[in-house]
Amino acid sequence: MNNWKKKGIVYEVYPQSFKDTNNDGIGDINGVIEKLDYIKNLGVNIIWLTPIFKSPMVDNGYDIADYEAINPVYGTMEDFDKLLKLCHEKGLKLVMDLVVNHNSDQSKWFQESKKSRDNKYSNYYIWEDPKADGSAPTNLGSTFGGSAWEYVPERDQYYLHLFAKEQPDLNWRCEAMRQDIYKTMRFWLNKGVDGFRMDSISFISKPEKFEDAPLEDNKEYGSYYYGSSNGPKLHEYLHEMNREVMSKYDVITIGETPHTTAAQAEKYIAQERQELDMVFQFEHMHVDYGEYGRYSDVTFKLSDLRDSIIRWQKDLSWNSNYLGNHDQPRLVSRFGNDEKYRKESAKMLAMITVLQKGTPFVFQGDEIGMTNVDFKNIDEFKDLEAHNTYEFLKNKGLSDEKALEMIKRKSRDNSRTPMQWNDSKNGGFSEGNPWIKLNDNYDSINVRESLDDKDSIYHFYQKLLQLRTNSDVATDGDFKIVSLSDSDVFAYTRKLNNKTMLVVGSFSDKKVKFEVPESLVSMGSSKVLSNYRDSIRELSNILYLRPYEGIVFMN
């Protein structure tokens, strides 16, 4: 991987919740333009924009109806061209979301495909005959609830949708379909976009033959990824895509790869295989899954999180490092403490994540420590997954209160509430009626407050990202764990030649003792960054870490 990619730090923008400039309540491209300096000043150099294409917005734009048109609620193609030009003028790269495991049932391709079994688009989707009794081909369930198969009378067949029924899965076995995708990729690359984050890319190759999947986690349907994650022809397709498209441009490619092990992940990114640059993995996002899967009321154990991170740092040559994004609850609420130690824990979590080996990803709002929302009833949630899961949990016999509590804990909407710019109406996000309610705490947690306070989370991120950018040990150094498996502390070193960086973070809300190995102390390291203003300067044998204290030392 070349240097600009290694030095890349990504800021994820979820446009509809970022900044609304025409006051229709929905963030837009002009809003991103307005805030480009804000993003740039944080110290990142790549923006990943989640989908802005024409879409009926069943899954907030991850259901694309036209890959080459901008959704009018976000603006026009001219607005986009302007955004791209301004990014480049400011030295920022712009990465788009490529959603090609599925698209929208409103797309021309699907509208044609569902008409008959013998038209140009018939084979663009995954169609299967019903069972003898007319029921769905297999027991597979969709991610968002219900069966993964939907019946269409015109064809007397079912189509597969791993996500919502409005998101039919594309058939990658179909050569013409693949060529159409490549055409669309070239369309954006020729405009000058700097790469793609590839949605659900581990699912594009479906099994030769669909089969029933085992039932787990109290579910009525088999897992949607059964047979479809890391399927038989996946790497063939990715290599073809690279050969035909990406290899012709100097761009970055980040695959989103749910249900992929570290050994499988290495296949996507091993340089000689010429597929992708890096992948998002999910193992560490599963540390608080329980009897109802993701939406269980389980709290993570540090040892599980740490073990998972260590495993991936060891087994994968390059990682995409994140603790939150638009599909996850807010990281400070989930892994830190969003009350008394909100600032301390948000900073410590950033530190622990950004300095690992790999590319750091910052999701909008995490740089000011935005928290999970306290919506009072299910109607305030917008995500279809929240609603479907709420019904599912109630059908399992849970009370309304309990089901709501579980949704509040894990809903994707926690991360999708509008960006909190200041303490004025709607947090300065919009003068209109926001498409989703703001988090009530915008009067105290907002960008204005963060910029004014020199000890803010935002300013800590600035220093941290600068450290990541300026020290080669942070990009190229070897990763090694230092903390013991039963400790409340997550500590690791990065080493390059004779340079060592020691990163220490406490996950406890009490004062804890941490013993530093003699070999590290004797190198004479001193502090380069910390989240408590008056933290110690020189590394010594024993550190007494205050709640969520985090310190970086270097020799």
Find which of Ca ion, ligand TEU, none residue 163 binds, CB within 5 to 8 Å per kind: ligand TEU
- Identity at 538, one-letter amino acid code: E
How far is 178 from 170, CA to CA, in rounded Å? 9
Four-point Cα dihedral 467, 468, 473, 479, nearest 10: 120
CB of 410 to ligand TEU, least distance (A): 9
> Cβ closer to ligand TEU: 258 or 428?
258
Region of 192 (left: φ > 0; alpha: ψ -120 to 50; beta: rest) is: left
Name the catalytic one among 63, 150, 166, 199: 199
Question: Which of 24, 66, 307, 449 is the binder for Ca ion (CB under 5 A)?
Answer: 24
Query: How many angstroms separate the CA atoms of 228 and 202, rounded?
Result: 8
SS3 341: coil
Which residue's C-beta sits nearest to Ca ion?
28
Assigned token pair, 439 = 């988090």
Residue 70 β-bridge partners:
53
Contact 259, 269 (CB under 8 A): no
CB of 96 to ligand TEU, least distance (A): 13
State which of positions 485-524 bind Ca ion (CB under 5 A). Answer: none
Q: Which is nearer to ligand TEU, 281 or 456 (CB)?
A: 281
Strand pairing report for 512-515 and 542-545: antiparallel
- Minimum CB separation of residue 520 from Ca ion in Å reads 52
Number of residues this chain uses to bind Ca ion (CB under 5 A): 5
CB of 329 to ligand TEU, least distance (A): 11
Nearer to Ca ion by C-beta: 24 or 34? 24
The site partner of 194 among Ca ion, ligand TEU, none (C-beta below 5 to 8 Å per kind) is none
Contacted by 221, from ligand TEU, Ca ion, none: CB < 5 to 8 Å by type: none
Which one of ligand TEU, Ca ion, none interacts with residue 99, CB within 5 to 8 A by kind?
ligand TEU
Looking at residue 9, what DSSP letter applies?
-
Is 28 a known active-site residue?
no
- Counting every residue, how long is the chain? 555
Q: Would you call 34 a catalytic residue per the annotation?
A: no
> Under the criterion CB under 5 A, does residue 28 sit at the interface with Ca ion?
yes
Q: How far apart are CA 204 and CA 235, in angstroms?
A: 10
Q: What is the DSSP string of 399-436?
A: -HHHHHHHHHHH-GGGGTSPP---SSGGGGS-SS--SS
| From the list Ca ion, ligand TEU, none, partner contacted by residue 22 (C-beta under 5 to 8 A by kind) | Ca ion
Q: Report, in Å, the least distance between residue 384 CB and ligand TEU.
A: 9
Closer CB to ligand TEU, 216 or 455, in the complex: 216
DSSP string, 142-188: -TTSSBSEEEETTTTEEEE-SS-TTSPBB-TT-HHHHHHHHHHHHHH
**Rounded distance between C-alpha atoms, residue 149 and residue 169, angstroms:** 10
Nearer Cβ to ligand TEU (195/505): 195
Chosen from Ca ion, ligand TEU, none, partner binding at 385 (C-beta under 5 to 8 Å by type): ligand TEU
| 473 in Cβ contact with 496 (< 8 Å) | yes
Residue 438 CB, shortest distance to Ca ion, in Å, is: 15
Among 12, 20, 150, 199, binds Ca ion (CB under 5 A): 20
Least distance between ligand TEU and beta carbon 140 (Å):
14
Catalytic residue among 150, 256, 383, 549: 256
Given the rule CB under 6 A, which residues bind ligand TEU?
A: 59, 62, 99, 143, 163, 199-200, 256, 258, 282, 326-327, 385, 412
**Residue whose CB is less far from Ca ion, 21 or 389:** 21
Query: What residues are paired with 54 via a beta bridge?
Result: 66
Question: Which is nearer to Ca ion, 26 or 348 (by Cβ)?
Answer: 26
Judged by CB under 5 A, the residue of 1, 7, 22, 106 near Ca ion is: 22
In this structure, are residues 123 and 177 in contact, taking their beta carbons and an 8 Å threshold? Answer: yes
Give the Cα separation of 182 and 68 in Å (integer): 12
Out of ligand TEU, Ca ion, none, what residue 109 binds, judged by CB under 5 to 8 A for its kind, is none
Q: CA–CA separation, 348 vs 512, rounded Å?
A: 15
Residues at the interface with Ca ion (CB under 5 A): 20, 22, 24, 26, 28
Positions marked catalytic: 199, 256
